[in-house]
């Protein structure tokens, strides 16, 4: 089987859509040079749109745990959330390798594709782990609102954590990078597209607790041990922007959700590990 | 005095306690409540000194009837005093928690009036959190030495983790610097807590709903550098504590001068951060690498090498143990190789099941070849072009920084003799967070 030097697949950006590309690749006995989201790229090469067909997607989905084991399915779902360039193609190549070698593909770290995907998934997991801590909420009309700007699409991985932490609260986490939000009210969570921010001022209570937190943050450091390099390596600067102890947020974001009928990339509950 | 003043004073007084982890227990919010905990622990931010902040770490009060000389809160110190009311503290905790500033509370206290009275106040704060707010987040409570066992037990059923700080690693230091405390006063509550944890484990098997006692276990802290106690003494004590009291963690805190006292290091003494760092590395080797204290230090070598981490030092002193073959060695032996850590050792075991490993593939598994190459073979073969000389090994095992500092001081040949090298002026990194990334520091 050869890579088709000039063939791109186009899909709708959903996980099911990608599974259909896997189906297509086997059906036509070919490997595209890339898999792109709908008309997102210039048409330099010949491209083939691969329509999303739930029946085909379901067949591929069922085959993964069967042939590669449940861990591989979980892994692929995570890989789909990463910011790895050309993640779709990597996932296709990983699955092809897996259909050939079975569950042992998960141990083939010396393989270039497997290794790249593992690194990307580690990056995703690390970022979502850090954000469980670094995310800051403001209390706004009794609800909790927070903003993040992650590189990877971490919202599906944060869902369970924050739902278990605040089962009785209403909260919204906005992912500014991907224009999506995690909305929760007892006892239901959904990941939705979020448009438009308006910012009313924080009320007095909110201001007080932000100030108390800043005071705590500044006081707890031991000045004889000052070590900004160490702080930076544990908490890279790109996270600081949305953290209360560094002055943010100045105001509470007020959000309007895009129509609930909007397309969901992955249902929140499904991508949970 | 408003809550801002109190928070400032009582944080300032608590900051020298290093433990801030929220690890060791997994749970989700109770019905109608708030709060969860993750066994791996979660850092919510890092302070300017690079330390993980996971918990709201404060004292209930910094008033103290005792006069421990190394402590900012000692009776004789002229410092502003404050006290939270239990309710005030509970509300502050919940408000920080809702905003995702923290994983929970680390509550300690000076001794106000009496150990029993202090303990009762702490219990009340935790009771409000657990019962009124139905808070399931992480709580670490420090037992007050001298408090009644029944009160310690009550505290333990409200907390996730308990600790009793040893502070001074030997009885002679204790006698000198903490005249009001005895070894007995420290180890008695530690023993009581351990017994309660054990009994509780049995109860939970018998009655599923028995209240849990400190499910995240018990920890302690020792101060490094306030007294002449050596690394050897401290590490042996640490090992003993893990064995005898089944502690989850022993923390080390480099002493920061807080008093001008002839019995203590002068006020301009820098905290011995590099020693603290070496102790954490050695502690890690005890807990995860199956090393014993006696393998790392002995009567003749009572101090860690400032330039080389304890694992590398061990490797250089035990060259007869090597080479280790990555395709055949058992897990425990792989872990002894400089440049191979817990993660890469596990990957080696998994990967070599599918095919024999070669040197080229090792880097992808996370092995630091620059270090490991001297100590391993792949199916009997050594790495190409590796010259195993003491000099080359040293060069590869020293960190860039240590190498740099070393050039200033003495030659590599001298280092090879492992005499008593001069003390490093520059600190290593403080780390006490427990997420797996921390492992890398050991490689
Ligand atoms: S009993 Fe505790 S708070 Fe009081 S002086 Fe001694 S160490 Fe400090």
Closest chain B residue to A166, measured at CA: B34
Atom of ligand 1 nearest to the CA of B75: 5
CATH for B3-258+270-296 (3.40.718.10, 3.40.50.12780, 3.40.50.970, 3.20.20.70): 3.20.20.70
Please check the confidence at residue B421 and state whether its pLDDT lies above 60: no
Alpha-carbon Rg for chain B, nearest whole angstrom, is 24
Ligand 1 pocket member B63 (CB < 6 A): no
- Chain A environment of B429 (Cβ under 8 Å): 227, 230
Q: For each of chain A's 273 residues, which pLDDT tens digit applies?
A: 666 667 899 999 999 999 999 999 999 999 999 999 986 555 555 688 999 999 999 999 999 999 999 999 999 999 999 999 999 999 999 999 999 999 999 988 889 999 999 999 999 999 999 999 999 999 988 999 999 999 999 999 999 999 999 999 999 999 999 999 999 999 999 999 987 666 567 889 999 999 999 999 999 999 888 999 999 999 999 999 999 999 865 544 444 443 333 333 333 333 333
Q: Please, which residues have CB within 8 angstroms of residue B235's CB and are 6 or more apart in sequence?
A: B279, B282, B283, B286, B293, B296, B297
> What residue has token string 């998960």?
A106
Across the interface, whether the CB atoms of A115 and B35 are under 8 A apart is answered no
Contacts of A211 in chain B (CB under 8 A): 4
pLDDT band (50, 70, 90) for residue B422: very low
Across B285-335, where does the E strand assignment appear?
Answer: 324-325
pLDDT at residue B396 greater than cutoff 70:
yes
Q: What is the pLDDT of residue B73?
A: 93
**Tokens linked to A133:** 């801590």
Cβ-Cβ pairs closer than 8 A, A with B, add up to: 169
Q: Cα dist. A174→A136, A244, B98 in Å?
A: 11, 16, 17
Q: How far is the CA of B109 from the centre of ligand 1 (A)?
A: 8
Ligand 1 center–CA A61 separation, angstroms: 61
DSSP string, B264-294: S--TTPPP-HHHHHHHHHHHHHHHHS---HH
Q: What's residue A4's pLDDT?
A: 67
Mutate to test the pocket of ligand 1, among B66, B107, B119, B174 (most ligand atoms within 8 A of CB): B66
**Is B354 at the interface with chain A, CB within 8 A?**
yes
Supply the residue whose CA is at minimum distance from atom 6 of ligand 1.
B68
How far apart, in whole angstroms, are the C-alpha atoms of residue B82 and residue B73? 11
- Can you tell me the distance from the alpha carbon of B228 to that of B147, in angstroms, rounded to the nearest whole number? 30
Distance CA B332, CA B341 (A): 11
Domain residues of chain B, as ranges? 3-258+270-296, 310-434
Contact B49 A109 (CB under 8 A): no
Residue B16 with chain A: CB contacts under 8 Å: 222
Tell which residue, A223, A225, A134, A127, has the closest CA to residue A178: A127
Question: Does the beta-carbon distance from A225 to B427 stay under 8 Å?
Answer: yes
> Comparing C-alpha atoms, which of B383, B363, B366, B364 is closest to residue B374?
B383
Average pLDDT of every residue of chain B: 86
Judge: A139–B361 Cβ closer than 8 Å, yes or no: no
Whether the pLDDT of residue B22 is over 90: the answer is no
Interface residue B426 vs chain A (CB under 8 A): no
- Report residue B19 as tokens: 């433990």
* Residues paired with residue B45 on neighbouring β-strands, in sequence order: B53
The residue-averaged pLDDT of B256-282 equals 88
Q: Does the pLDDT of residue B45 top 60, yes or no?
A: yes
From the CA of B119, how far away is ligand 1's center (Å)?
14
| Pair of tokens at residue B234 | 């401290």
Task: Give the nearest ligand 1 atom to B167 CA.
Answer: 7
User: What span, in angstroms and rounded, lies between the C-alpha atoms of B241 and B222?
Assistant: 12
SS3 B316: helix
Mutation test of the interface with chain B: which of A69, A222, A241, choosing the one with the most B Cβ atoms within 10 A? Answer: A222
Q: What is the DSSP string of B141-184?
A: EE--TT--HHHHHHHHHH-SEEE---BSSSHHHHHHH-TT--HH
Q: What is the pLDDT of residue B418?
A: 43
Q: Which of A19, A61, A64, A18 is nearest to A37 (CA)?
A: A18
Residue B259: CA count within 13 A, CB half-sphere: 19
Give the bridge partners for B251, in sequence order. Answer: B221
Mean of the pLDDT values across residues B110-127? 96
Residue B123 has pLDDT above 60, yes or no: yes
What residue of B is the nearest CA neighbor of A160?
B28
Buried b (16+ CB within 10 A) or exposed e, B81-97: bbbbebebbbbbbbbbb
What angle, 0 to 180 degrees and rounded to 10, lies between the N-to-C axes of helices A155-165 and A70-81?
100
Q: Are A104 and B350 in contact (CB under 8 A)?
A: no
Contacts by residues B317-320 (CB-CB < 8 Å, ≥ 24 positions apart): none
Question: A-contacting residues of B 32-91, CB under 8 Å?
Answer: 32-36, 38, 40, 42-54, 56-57
If you average pLDDT over residues B148-159, what whole number do you get? 95
Among B9, B26, B46, B55, the residue to mutate for chain A (most A Cβ within 10 A): B46
d(CA A159, CA A173): 9
Amino acid B394: pLDDT: 79
**Distance of CA B97 from the midpoint of ligand 1 (Å):** 28
Q: Pairing state of beta strands A171-175 and A143-148?
A: parallel
For Cα atoms B19, B70, B300, give the angle at the middle one, nearest 5 degrees: 80
The pLDDT assigned to B280 comes to: 94
Nearest residue (by CA) to ligand 1, atom 3, is: B110
Closest residue to atom 2 of ligand 1, CA basis: B110
DSSP assignment letter at B129: I
Residues of A with CB below 8 A from B427's CB?
A: 225, 227
Residue B23's pLDDT is 82
Residues in chain A within 8 Å Cβ distance of B15: 219-222
- Of B36, B98, B361, nearest to A137 by CB-CB distance is B98
- First and final CA of chain B: distance in angstroms? 49
- Give residue-wise pLDDT tens across range B310-363: 999 999 889 899 999 999 999 999 999 999 999 999 999 988 888 889 998 898
Question: d(Cα B255, Cα B271) in Å, to the nearest integer?
Answer: 5
Nearest protein Cα to ligand 1, atom 5: B74
pLDDT given for residue A41 in this prediction:
55
pLDDT for residue B246 is more than 70? yes
Alpha-carbon gap, residue B124 to B108, rounded angstroms: 13
Contacts of A135 in chain B (CB under 8 A): 100
Task: Give residues 132 to 191 of B whose Cβ lies within 8 Å of A.
Answer: 137
pLDDT of residue A2: 64
What mean pLDDT is predicted for residues B278-301? Answer: 94
Instruction: Give the ligand 1 atom nearest the CA of B71.
Output: 8
B68 C-alpha to center of ligand 1: Å? 6
The number of the ligand 1 atom at minimal distance from the alpha carbon of B72 is 8
Query: Ligand 1: does its nearest atom lie under 6 Å from the Cβ of B187?
Result: no
Residue A170: count of CB within 10 angstroms of its CB:
15
User: Which of B47, B92, B273 lies closest to A217 in CB terms?
Assistant: B47
Give the model's confidence band at B27: pLDDT under 50 very low, under 70 low, under 90 confident, else very high. Answer: confident
CA of B155 to the centre of ligand 1 (A): 19
Query: Mean pLDDT lowest for which of B21-25, B77-81, B333-337?
Result: B21-25
Please give the pLDDT value at position B409.
57
Nearest chain B Cα distance for residue A234, angstroms: 7
pLDDT at B172 > cutoff 80: yes
In angstroms, what is the span from residue B64 Cα to ligand 1's centroid? 6
Beta bridge partners of A180: A175, A193
**Local structure of A104: helix, strand or coil:** helix
C-beta atoms of A231 and B430 within 8 A: no
pLDDT at residue A182, as a whole number: 95
Cα–Cα distance, A200 to A60 (Å, whole number): 47
Q: What is the mean pLDDT of residues B69-74?
A: 90
> Residue B382: phi, psi to the nearest 5?
-80, 160
Any idea which of A2-6, B103-107, B115-119, B345-349 has the lowest mean pLDDT?
A2-6
């Amino acid at each position: 089987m050869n890579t088709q030097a000039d063939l791109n697949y186009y899909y709708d950006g959903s996980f099911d859509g990608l599974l259909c590309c896997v189906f297509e690749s086997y059906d036509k006995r070919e490997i595209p040079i890339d898999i792109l989201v709908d008309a997102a790229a210039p048409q330099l090469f010949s491209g083939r749109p691969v329509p999303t067909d739930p029946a085909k997607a379901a067949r591929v989905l069922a085959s993964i745990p069967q042939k590669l084991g449940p861990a591989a399915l979980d892994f692929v779902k995570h890989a789909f959330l990463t910011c790895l360039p050309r993640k779709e193609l990597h996932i296709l190549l990983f699955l092809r390798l897996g259909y050939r070698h079975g569950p042992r593909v998960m141990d083939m770290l010396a393989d270039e594709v497997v290794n790249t995907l593992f690194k990307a998934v580690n990056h995703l997991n690390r970022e979502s782990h850090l954000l469980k801590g670094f995310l800051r909420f403001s209390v706004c009309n009794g609800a909790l609102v927070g903003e993040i700007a992650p590189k990877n699409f971490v919202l599906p991985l944060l869902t369970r954590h924050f739902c278990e932490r605040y089962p009785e609260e209403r909260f919204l986490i906005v992912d500014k990078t991907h224009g999506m939000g995690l909305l929760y009210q007892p006892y239901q969570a959904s990941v939705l597209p979020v448009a438009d921010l308006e910012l009313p001022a924080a009320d007095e209570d909110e201001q007080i607790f932000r100030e108390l937190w800043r005071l705590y943050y500044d006081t707890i450091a031991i000045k004889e041990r000052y070590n900004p390099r160490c702080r930076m390596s544990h908490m890279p600067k790109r996270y600081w922007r949305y953290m209360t102890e560094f002055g943010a947020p100045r105001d509470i974001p007020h959000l309007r959700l895009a129509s609930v009928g909007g397309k969901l990339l992955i249902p929140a509950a499904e991508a949970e590990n | 005095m408003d809550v801002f003043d109190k928070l400032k004073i009582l944080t300032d007084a608590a900051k020298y306690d290093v433990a801030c982890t929220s690890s060791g227990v997994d749970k989700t919010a109770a019905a109608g409540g708030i709060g969860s905990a993750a066994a791996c622990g979660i850092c919510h931010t890092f302070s300017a000194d690079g330390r993980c902040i996971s918990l709201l770490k404060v004292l209930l009060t910094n008033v103290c009837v005792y006069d421990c000389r190394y402590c900012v809160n000692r009776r004789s110190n002229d410092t502003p005093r404050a006290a939270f009311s239990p309710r005030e503290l509970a509300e502050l905790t919940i408000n920080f928690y809702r905003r995702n500033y923290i994983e929970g509370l680390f509550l300690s206290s000076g001794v106000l009036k009496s150990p029993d009275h202090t303990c009762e106040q702490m219990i009340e704060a935790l009771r409000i959190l657990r019962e009124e707010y139905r808070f399931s987040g992480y709580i670490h409570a420090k037992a007050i030495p001298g408090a009644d066992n029944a009160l310690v037990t009550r505290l333990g059923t409200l907390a996730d983790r308990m600790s009793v700080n040893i502070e001074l690693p030997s009885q002679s230091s204790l006698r000198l610097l903490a005249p009001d405390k005895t070894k007995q006063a420290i180890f008695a509550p530690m023993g009581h807590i351990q017994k309660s944890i054990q009994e509780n484990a049995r109860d939970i098997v018998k009655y599923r709903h028995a209240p849990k006692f400190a499910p995240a276990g018990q920890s302690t802290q020792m101060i490094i550098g306030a007294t002449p106690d050596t690394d050897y003494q401290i590490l042996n004590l640490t090992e003993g504590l893990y064995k005898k009291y089944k502690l989850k963690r022993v923390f080390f805190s480099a002493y920061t001068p807080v008093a001008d006292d002839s019995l203590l290091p002068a006020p301009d003494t820098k905290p011995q951060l590099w020693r603290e760092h070496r102790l954490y590395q050695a502690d890690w080797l005890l807990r995860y690498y199956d090393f014993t204290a006696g393998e790392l230090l002995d009567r003749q070598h009572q101090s860690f090498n400032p330039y080389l981490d304890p694992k590398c030092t061990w490797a250089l002193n035990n060259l007869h143990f090597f080479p280790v073959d990555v395709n055949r060695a058992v897990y425990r032996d792989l872990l002894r190789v400089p440049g191979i850590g817990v993660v890469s050792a596990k990957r080696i075991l998994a990967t070599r099941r599918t095919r024999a490993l070669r040197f080229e593939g090792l880097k992808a598994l996370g092995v630091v070849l620059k270090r490991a190459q001297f100590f391993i073979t792949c199916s009997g073969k050594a790495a190409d072009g590796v010259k195993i000389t003491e000099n080359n090994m040293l060069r590869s095992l020293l960190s860039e920084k240590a190498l740099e500092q070393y050039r200033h001081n003495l030659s590599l040949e001298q280092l090879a003799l492992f005499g008593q090298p001069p003390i490093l002026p520059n600190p290593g990194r403080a780390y006490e967070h427990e997420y797996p990334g921390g492992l890398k520091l050991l490689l």
